[in-house]
Amino acid sequence: METLCYQTLPDQNAFILRTGTERFLQFGEGNFLRGFVDYFIDCANERMGLDNKVIVVQPIKSGLADVINRQDGLYHLYLRGGEPSAPQVQSRLVSSISRAIDPYRDFEAFLACAEQPELRFIVSNTTEAGISCRTEDRLEDCPAASFPGKLTQLLWKRYQCFGQQKGKGFIVLSCELIDHNGQELKKCVQTYAGRWGLPEDFLNWLEEENVFCDTLVDRIITGYPKEDAERLNQENGVEDRLLDTGEPFAFWAIQGPEWMKQELPFEQAGLPVVIVPDSSYYKKRKVRILNGAQTGISLAAYLMGSDISLDYMACPLCVRFVRRMIYDEIIPYLQLDDADMRAFADQVMVRLNNPFIQHSLLAISLNSVSKWKARVWPSLLAYWEQNGELPVCTVFSLAALLEFYHLHSKNAQGYYGAREGIPYPVRDDQDVLEFFWEHREDTPEKLVRFCGETVFPEIGGIPKLAEQLAGLLADIRQQGIRTVFDTLMDE
């Protein structure tokens, strides 16, 4: 079978942009950016009559640059959703990528991008660990090992070419999953500039002519569909090694000035992208509702026999629990636009029931103590402050967490709880695991008291919370979590 490229492209009526203007430089060639940013750029090109193209930079030594170039940047994206009884699939041939560069083999080609006057946007998704400085990076490296080091090299070259011209700086859109991603990236660039002895004029230009935007991204990308790839390639008539899949839902909040809307007309194209002066509203919405609900149900559901999110979404009582937690215990106390919160929550319920997403609950359980504190605790506190009583589902969620962390064994590979006698791994920070191991034989009352003094000091700040938790935990251990849960949801 021939490889997908412009020459082998089957006849079709779909939108294709063969040539265009390279305005975007993208650090990262993986599934997420291709299923999110590059997809948005492609849709905006079609809907707005634009000709934006993306240069992809391979951020590490091994990557997909050669594959992308063999396919002329083309790939198929399948957005798959619906419900188990009625799955839905949308497909699109994306043509927004022009070429890919491997800076480890052609550093000069990478730096030459800075000489292109039309280049305006820098996009990145180099994982959470990608935005960090490395002491061994040097300006003369070809290239610097870290992503911020490479970006600083590119910015220095840009300054040398266009430092005296207005409007030739970059708009940097960081998609890494860390708080204040754009500002953290900017700090790294400033750090490198200082270490490398770059002039004060460069730092001034960096501040005045470049915009580093914090962004919030939201779409689950499930990546290369290994089990379906052969069938999809047969249907398309070409081999596509860059096949990508994801959920239909998407949302991108970009924190930036109002004038950016003219240069980045995603909203005008009807895409789920907002450019706002403060993106904290959208972060709070996502963390408290989507992430909070997932964290709130996942450990209890696992202990009751579910392995993936679809399992608990097939259980009417679990669905009732999730809805009660979101609509009764979270949304009324967010102090955000109620209609928008409920519309977002409605989408969350659909997303959790996506038949194409096999969300492992054990994968979700990683670092659950810190996740629960960040995502769920604020909702419990807000509920208590307004009502003077405790939210039933949320407190049960915390009791389920304590039971999930009831450790039964450990070895060189880690610590383990047990579900119906079968071990499962519990993964968290070492001090958290050591605490629960040390207190594995404590009574529920004693465990909750020690939790309130160490790993969960917040517990002691709310009257009767420790008492309720200890009672729930005792019931779970005596009657079984399913019995306690069923009784709770039948009330």
Return the percentage of the chain with pLDDT > 70, whole number.
100
What integer is the mean pLDDT of 475-479? 98
In Å, how far are 218, 334, 388, 397, 430 from 468, measured between CA atoms? 35, 24, 14, 12, 27
Domain ranges of the chain: 21-278, 295-490
Return the percentage of the chain with pLDDT > 90, whole number.
97
* Bridge partner residues of 79 (DSSP): 90, 246
Alpha-helix residue ranges (DSSP H) falling in 314-367: 316-323, 338-352, 361-364
d(CA 30, CA 282): 25
The mean predicted confidence, pLDDT, of the chain is 97
SS (H, E, C) 87-116: EEEEEEEECCEEEEECCCCCHHHHHHHHHC
Say which CATH superfamily domain 21-278 falls into.
Answer: NAD(P)-binding Rossmann-like Domain (3.40.50.720)
d(CA 296, CA 326): 10
Predicted local confidence at residue 130, as pLDDT: 86
Strands (E), 225-362: 244-246, 251-255, 273-276
What are the φ/ψ torsions at residue 391 (nearest 5 degrees)?
-75, 125
More confidently predicted of 13 and 219: 219
What integer is the mean pLDDT of 465-484? 98
The answer to whether 458 and 382 have CB atoms below 8 angstroms apart is: no
Each residue's pLDDT tens digit, 84-128? 999 999 999 999 999 999 999 999 999 999 999 999 999 999 976
Predicted local confidence at residue 13, as pLDDT: 79
What integer is the mean pLDDT of 285-295? 98
For residue 491, pLDDT over 80 is answered with no
What integer is the mean pLDDT of 196-214? 98
Closest CA to 176 of 212, 131, 220: 131
Each residue's pLDDT tens digit, 373-430? 999 999 999 999 999 999 999 999 999 999 999 999 999 999 999 999 999 999 999 9
Six-digit token pair at 210? 């470049």
d(CA 208, CA 186): 13
The answer to whether 175 and 37 have CB atoms below 8 angstroms apart is: yes
225 CB-near residues (< 8 Å, 6+ apart)? 78, 232, 243, 245
d(CA 147, CA 291): 28
Q: What is the CA radius of gyration of the chain?
A: 25
Cis ω for the linkage preceding 143 (within 30 of 0): yes
Q: Which fold has domain 295-490?
A: N-(1-d-carboxylethyl)-l-norvaline Dehydrogenase; domain 2 (1.10.1040)
DSSP tag of 263:
H
Predicted local confidence at residue 453, as pLDDT: 93
Each residue's pLDDT tens digit, 156-190? 999 999 999 999 999 999 999 999 999 999 999 99
